Amino acid sequence: MEEPRRLGGRYELGHVLGRGGMAEVYLAHDTRLGRSVAVKTLRADLARDPSFQARFRREAQSAASLNHPTIVAVHDTGEDHIDGVSIPYIVMEYVDGSTFRTLLHSGRKLLPERSMEMTIGILQGLEYSHRAGIVHRDIKPANVMLTRNGQVKVMDFGIARAMGDSGMTMTQTAAVIGTAQYLSPEQAKGEQVDARSDLYSTGCLLYELLTVRPPFVGDSPVAVAYQHVREEPQPPSVFNPEITPEMDAIVMRALVKDPDYRYQSADEMRSDIEACLDGQPVAATAAMGSVGYGGYPHGQPMTALRTDSSAGPTTMLPPMNRYNERPDRRRQKKNNNTSTILLVVAGVLLLVSAILIGKWLGKQF
């Protein structure tokens, strides 16, 4: 019988739990501590590329620095050598459960309240990682797990970066990192991202949990990325009548194009969801009403609402008195629309009058 492959002299690899774009994950046995673990190894065909090596090690460093119940824990790291090539690996806690992607593809319909509860778990993990200065940058159904006892676990910090890192843009890669359906507008545009980008991606994931479809779909990743930048999603209630106005408001605020008008922290978004589940008023309802949600013509980008281009550096704290200027803007927009309508009506009346006069003159001659 063939001996199981052993890493670091202690981790015996079993069957493959999953494969991704750059790594494979095995169920393994820690012979020293006598426990099951999950071992992620960089794919052998990518191990010769220094950029993939660096990204894989960065994931280990990012995840190892985080210790929270809703984040998959990293126990150990190391390197294996095959045919003279160094293949790094990460030893993580083994999570007995399934990913949100598997859950969504199973065809099971979740109650809206359960979807909101599961999103709270994601936000708790992000709140902790953001306070530690780490942005995940790849929140999507495949990177969140649900254990058999119902606990949420965020995993795969493979493209995470420290906040303030000057390299926190997407322009250095040959392709857009992060699944296109969950990209924030700033990621899609190759701009610098912060914690609020994770909240947009979480909003996309919550949207899909509520409706069983992402906010934007297209024929290609580029087409989807364009929609994230330029198009407004339809409220989740359009696809699921069980969604309440408060749930709509929470999702739509998370999906605002301009980060300054989005939720400013995971804690702020989590508080709104908890208020919604408790039957209490949610801040998103007032905030979205103030910035024009439901008050502008269909298709008007919310990015056009930002008027203060000289604002200082963004922070993770909610903006103060940011929304009280919006009603005036909306009244001005309404007045402009009224003037346009009156001009069109006047033009139609002139045209009708000209036709009638022409017919009358024709009868006279």
Residues of the chain with pLDDT under 70: 1-2, 158-178, 289-365
Residue 198 appears among annotated catalytic residues: no
29-74 confidence digits (pLDDT tens): 999 999 999 999 988 888 888 888 888 887 788 788 889 999 999 9
Query: Residues marked as binding?
Result: 40
For position 300, what pLDDT does the model report? 44
- 80 and 101 fall within a common domain: no
We report the CATH number of the domain holding residue 245 as: 1.10.510.10
Angle, CA 121 vertex, CA 120 and CA 126 arms, to 5°: 95
198 in the same domain as 72: no
Q: Is residue 365 part of a domain?
A: no
CATH number at residue 66: 3.30.200.20
Written in H, E and C, the secondary structure of 311-340 is CCCCCCCCCCCCCCCHHHHHHHHHHHHHHH
Q: What is the pLDDT of residue 201?
A: 97
The parent domain of residue 15 ranges over: 10-93
Listed residues 27, 58, 93: the one ending a domain: 93
User: What backbone phi and psi angles, to 5 degrees, belong to 335?
Assistant: -65, -40
Of 93, 122, 142, which residue is a domain's last?
Answer: 93
The kind and range of the H/E element at 18 are strand 11-19
Q: Are residues 72 and 114 part of one domain?
A: no
The upper half-sphere exposure of residue 198, i.e. CA atoms within 13 Å in the direction of its Cβ, equals: 32
Counting the structural domains of the chain, the total is 2
Domain membership flag for residue 194: yes
With a CB cutoff of 8 Å and minimum separation 6, the contacts of 222 are: 180
Please tell me the distance from the alpha carbon of residue 178 to that of residue 249, in angstroms, as a whole number. 25
Question: Do 104 and 132 share a domain, yes or no?
Answer: yes
Residue 49 sits in the same domain as residue 196:
no
Same-domain status, 177 and 126: yes
pLDDT digits (tens, 9 = 90+) for 317-363: 333 332 233 334 334 434 444 444 444 445 445 444 544 544 444 44
**Count of CB atoms within 10 A of residue 209's CB?**
21
Q: Please report the pLDDT score of residue 267 as a whole number.
A: 97
Alpha-carbon distance of 103 to 141, in angstroms, equals 9
Q: Which member of 30, 76, 80, 138 is catalytic?
A: 138
Phi, psi angles (nearest 5°) of residue 37: -140, 165
| 328 domain-assigned | no
298 and 250, same domain (yes or no): yes
Annotated binding site for ATP: 40
In a domain, 274, yes or no: yes
Per DSSP (E only), the strands in 61-114 are 74-82, 85-93, 97-99
Please tell me whether residues 110 and 253 are part of one structural domain: yes
